[in-house]
Structure 1
Amino acid sequence: MKKTLFLLLAFCIVGLAQAQQQILPPMVNVNGVGEVRVQPDQVILTMGVEVREKTLEQARKQADSKAAAIIAYLKKQGVSEKDIQTSYMSIYPIYNSGEYGKATPDFYTAQKTMTVLVKKLNKFDDLMSGLYGAGVNRVDGVAFQVADIEKYKTQARKLAVTNAKQKAIVLTNELGAKVGRVYAINENTTGGRPMPMYAEAAMMKTMDSAGGEGPTIAGGEVIITSNVSISFVIEN
């Protein structure tokens, strides 16, 4: 009997707690947006070498030699070793003749791709010209980014929160009420990812820079956006 009474009492307490949890205060729910536009100050360059030779060993040695020359050039230009990464490499046979079942390839193609973080945009054109001279014959991608991205994300969040609070104040004032404490908040900040530039366009523009004037790349802007959803308690 005591056990039954104890269980009933426990169920009543749980039910009362659940009922209290379901009673929410009057609230105003608003969304806020904050946007920060920043000029990029870094470039992620993806480039490499591609060679063709009669034998596998010749192709490998040629690709390795050119890659070593490129890395040496980058270091000479002040690019830190930690900002240079070999991101892809391959070597494979090519069969050009139509002879079915041919065992010996016509030649071998070897590729080495490197990803480089360039921190001096004003030196980009000169750096690229030197890279072509060092052996680069493929540019796979050019992307712009911001170094201190977290600082701008914080700014975007603050703007988003301010925007949300202003909306809440306008809405409650129209009803003769006031904005109270914050009941709940959700946030999502995006942007700041590298902005890609077509590799072919980047390569051609830089190769033609000797006959032109001014820089051959334009970084534009990196856009950082924060979205917040905030619930404020309404006070009379």
Structure 2
Amino acid sequence: MKFTTSLLTTVFAISSLSASELEVPHITVTGMAEERVAPDEMSWRLRVESKGEKVAETAEVHDKKVAKVLAFLKQQGGDEKKISTSSISLEEERERQDCKYVHLGYKAQTDIRYVSQDLQKYRELWIGLSQLDGLSVRSVELQLADPIPHQESTRLKALAAAKKKAASMAEVLDSKIGKPLIIKDRPVNDGFYGVRITRNSIDSVLDGASSAGSLAAGTVSISSTVEVTFALTSAE
């Protein structure tokens, strides 16, 4: 279930623009808004590794390991388009000894990304993946499948907060605000809207902290900050 709460705060500052940049009386304010939303998607980043003495055998063994992981993920249901492989490599392993390189064997590696919108399967996925040979879990992220509606919502709330603050300030100065002259959107997120799972979080699930097999996902913060310059006119 999704839920949202809103927190509006505003920080303001009188503009220091020169007359040549903006020649009309004006006021500049910064409006901020935040929504906290329950994540509805989890993204798994996995890595399959294989080592061997012969290149052909290493490649064959690795191919079977990857196929086994992909088969397991497909069994979990969901959109198969959400499963992707990348960073596929097969290379010689060498070690420098006594000023020369010594051949150790061969190493194959494949990264896999799996996205699921069924957060209830967290424990089942973790236990199942831990039983697959040569597999390591690089990270698990709980995130929003579509953050855009929430981004747009917080931006509008930030604009409303900026307008309210500017009007309140202008009233104290026996003035009122006119049309907005400059509007600047200041992104506060790095493009990622989610919660990165820590090693402690994983351990708590394995220890049975979640008897239902689900994860306490918490909420994702989506914030927006805008800077708006309004014209000032006389209140009379």
The alignment partner of 2:89 has SS state of strand
TM-score relative to the length of structure 1? 0.78
The structural deviation recorded for 1:209 is 4.7
Q: CA deviation at 1:37?
A: 1.1
State the match for 1:55 in structure 2. 54
Q: 1:111 to 1:41 in 2, by over 3 A?
A: same
What does 1:144-223 align with in structure 2 at a 5 Å threshold? 144-191=142-189, 193=192, 194-198=194-198, 200-201=199-200, 204=203, 208-209=206-207, 213-215=211-213, 217-223=215-221
Measured in 2, the distance between the counterparts of 1:96 and 1:24 equals: 69
* Residue 230, structure 1, aligned to residue 228, structure 2: yes
Q: 1:93 corresponds to which residue? A: 92
The aligned residue for residue 80 of structure 1 is: 79
Higher alpha-carbon Rg: 1
In the superposition, relative to structure 1, how do residues 23 and 163 fare at CA in structure 2: closer, same or farther (>3 Å)?
closer
Q: Percent identity?
A: 26
TM-score normalised by L of structure 2: 0.78
Q: Verify the 8 A CA contact 1:209 1:216 in the aligned structure 2.
A: no
Q: Which runs of 5+ in 1 are unaligned?
A: 1-19
Q: What do residues 126-163 of structure 1 show as CA deviations (whole Å, max 9, x unaligned)?
A: 12222233446211111121112111001111110111
Note the alpha carbon deviations across 1:178-219, whole angstroms, 9 max, x for none. Answer: 122222211123336143234x5566555x356973547443
The 1:119–1:26 alpha-carbon spacing in structure 2 relative to 1, beyond 3 Å, is same
Bigger share in helix: 1
Secondary structure at 2:188's aligned position in 1? strand
| Letter aligned with residue 173 of structure 1 | E
Q: Does structure 1 residue 139 correspond to structure 2 residue 137?
A: yes
* Poorly superposed stretches of 4+, deviation over 6 Å: 20-23
Indicate the larger mover: 153-162 or 91-100. 91-100
- Letter in structure 2 aligned against 1:36: E
CA deviation digits over 1:40-89, x for unaligned, max 9?
11111101221222211111111111111111221122132211111222
Q: Does the CA contact (< 8 Å) of 1:189 and 1:224 recur in 2?
A: no
Aligned residue pairs, count: 214
Bigger mean CA offset, 42-51 vs 88-97: 88-97
What root-mean-square deviation, in Å, do the aligned CA atoms of Structure 1 and Structure 2 show? 2.8
Q: Call closer, same or farther: CA 1:52–1:170 in 2, change over 3 Å.
A: same
Q: Go from structure 1 to structure 2 and tell me whether the alpha carbon gap of 1:203 and 1:64 turns closer, same or farther (over 3 Å shift).
A: farther
Once the two structures are overlaid, the 10-residue window that deviates more, 80-89 or 151-160, is 80-89
Q: 2:121 aligns with which of 123, 141, 147?
A: 123
Contact 1:144 1:195 in 2 (8 A): yes
Q: Which has the higher strand share?
A: 2
Q: 1:22 to 1:33 in 2, by over 3 A?
A: closer
Cα distance, 1:51–1:204 mapped onto 2, change above 3 Å: farther
Q: Is the 8 A contact 2:120 2:214 kept in 1?
A: no
SS in 1 for 2:187: strand
1:3 paired residue number: none
Segment drifting more, 75-84 vs 162-171: 75-84
